[in-house]
Amino acid sequence: MVLSKTINSGSDDSLHSTFASRYVRTVLPRFKIAETSIPKEAAYQIINDELMLDGNPRLNLASFVTTWMEPECDKLIMASINKNYVDMDEYPVTTELQNRCVNMIAHLFNAPLGDSETAVGVGTVGSSEAIMLAGLAFKRRWQNKMRAAGKPCDKPNIVTGANVQVCWEKFARYFEVELKEVKLSEGYYVMDPEKAVEMVDENTICVAAILGSTLNGEFEDVKRLNDLLVEKNAETGWDTPIHVDAASGGFIAPFLYPELEWDFRLPLVKSINVSGHKYGLVYAGIGWVIWRNKEDLPDELIFHINYLGADQPTFTLNFSKGSSQIIAQYYQLIRLGFEGYKNIMENCQENAMVLKEGLEKTERFNIVSKDCGVPLVAFSLKDHSQHNEFEISDMLRRFGWIVPAYTMPPDAQHITVLRVVIREDFSRTLAERLVNDIVKVLHELDTLPAKVNAKITVSEENGVANSTTEMEVQRKITDAWRKFVADKKKTNGVC
């Protein structure tokens, strides 16, 4: 959930719509419910007009989330949009489809299941909820173990890399678990297994490994982590487990890198989360968490309710939610099969290589991402003396592209990168067009005043003293750059 805030548009607190005036002339308040109703046509037009200013989801290269599905799946989604997933007694078929998805994914992740054994897992609204549930299971198992041994259980910790997604920080803060982060270094932007194991102590509830870093798409070495932890557990008598955050890579590794050992083939991996709405190829709102076996999910965390018609076990952070995304996930699993997913992931990987090679030909960028990992391209400027990645990101929006620029976490925060996520709907043609637009942006930025020259100019014109802080100087440089752009725009009027 994003905390609510309003945008000061500089106008009054009313909504106005040109085309809706055909149906109604009443002015609507922005932040209060109107006293009277309006025609459905007017409500639709008012909202539709505002949504026109949103970005194009297909050109949002910042997001891992699926933005396109087949029309047949869209029909299934709309047909089930009024079904409450949690009402299992009323919608038993939907429940059955969820159970099938859990078992399919568990087998994909090589869970050690017998012929008639059912997988242990649950559908969630995304990997954030899945990670919360997995973390709670680890915390409770650790607490039970420490209490049985007569030891204190009030200071649990979890070991991760500094490259983890913010949901891990949320889990640590919300559920009072210390987050011990392995710092990054220039050129190595994932968790170092050796350093991670060194940070493990008796109060560590688990070590979290990332299969597909948000920052550069790289897979962490889960097998190396497992082997080191096996040794440490044998030396200490502990049984510190591993959770794999496969939000991005869980639907990639099985198809592109089947020999890579990262899943339940490793004995210390006790749970795995994956985002169905990323490379599971479903619209936003579906994630999965799978446990190795029943013993890894404490019974006391599972609630049983019967006020919806029958005894229903539930382990979620929320209660009611739609069924559409679960049905959509089942559609993709049976529609594509192993072959279909493999073809799509290979195509994404090939398009990522096209983009990477195009950027390398400009000779202006260092490629930060790895070829083995999530199909994305993360890159940074070789020369920062004139311009930076944030300026490139900002100017690409003029072409419709949303390409994020961001700094790396500690201790690599001095590195800034741009990142392009390659999804199923990002074609080779779009990759080539993006490279051309980046070249145009670079050419235009090269015609702008260099930051060094701007710094000298601003200092001379404004009499900046040597004692002026770097932040103040940078602010003046930015103001000069903006003024230059504004003046340039004035000379480029269109009749």
* pLDDT of 438: 97
Q: Are 133 and 303 in contact (CB under 8 A)?
A: no
- Which amino acid belongs to residue 79? A
Hey, what are 33's tokens? Answer: 């419910």
Mean pLDDT for the stretch of residues 317-328: 91
* pLDDT of 404: 96
**Confidence band of 85 (pLDDT split at 50, 70, 90):** confident
**Confidence band of 298 (pLDDT split at 50, 70, 90):** very high
**Confidence band of 465 (pLDDT split at 50, 70, 90):** very low
* pLDDT of 88: 76
Does the pLDDT at position 481 exceed 70? no
Mean pLDDT for the stretch of residues 364-370: 96
- Residue 359, CA distances (Å) to 11, 367, 376, 378, 394 in order: 43, 8, 13, 10, 18
Q: What is the pTM of this model?
A: 0.87
* pLDDT of 495: 35
**What span, in angstroms and rounded, lies between the C-alpha atoms of 434 and 212?**
23
Whole-number percent of the chain with pLDDT over 90: 71
Does the pLDDT at position 464 exceed 80? no
* SS3 category, 21: helix
Mean pLDDT for the stretch of residues 288-308: 88
| Between 78 and 485, residue with greater pLDDT | 78
**Confidence band of 493 (pLDDT split at 50, 70, 90):** very low
* pLDDT of 475: 61
**What span, in angstroms and rounded, lies between the C-alpha atoms of 389 and 375?**
21
**What span, in angstroms and rounded, lies between the C-alpha atoms of 52 and 244?**
39
- As a dihedral over the C-alpha atoms of residue 259, residue 377, residue 333, residue 247, rounded to 10 degrees, the angle is 80
| Between 380 and 85, residue with greater pLDDT | 380
> pLDDT tens-digit profile of 334-355?
999 999 999 999 999 999 999 9
**Confidence band of 455 (pLDDT split at 50, 70, 90):** very low
When mean pLDDT is compared across 273-282, 367-376, 479-488, the lowest value belongs to 479-488
What is the residue-averaged pLDDT of the chain? 89
User: What are all long-range contacts of 392-401, with beta carbons under 8 Å and residues at least 24 apart?
Assistant: 392/418, 392/438, 392/441, 392/442, 392/445, 393/418, 395/441, 395/444, 395/445, 396/437, 396/438, 396/441, 399/437, 399/440, 399/441, 400/55, 400/56, 400/59, 401/59, 401/61, 401/434, 401/437
Q: According to CATH, what is the number of the domain 75-335?
A: 3.40.640.10
Domain ranges of the chain: 75-335
Strands 287-291 and 376-381: unpaired
Does the pLDDT at position 3 exceed 50? yes
- Provide the 8-state DSSP code for 82: T
- Which amino acid belongs to residue 271? S
- Which amino acid belongs to residue 343? N
Does the pLDDT at position 55 exceed 90? no
> pLDDT tens-digit profile of 109-128?
999 998 888 999 999 999 99
- Provide the 8-state DSSP code for 3: P
Does the pLDDT at position 417 exceed 80? yes
| Between 469 and 167, residue with greater pLDDT | 167
**Confidence band of 461 (pLDDT split at 50, 70, 90):** low
* pLDDT of 164: 94
* pLDDT of 172: 97
**Confidence band of 452 (pLDDT split at 50, 70, 90):** very low
Does the pLDDT at position 20 exceed 70? no
**Confidence band of 492 (pLDDT split at 50, 70, 90):** very low
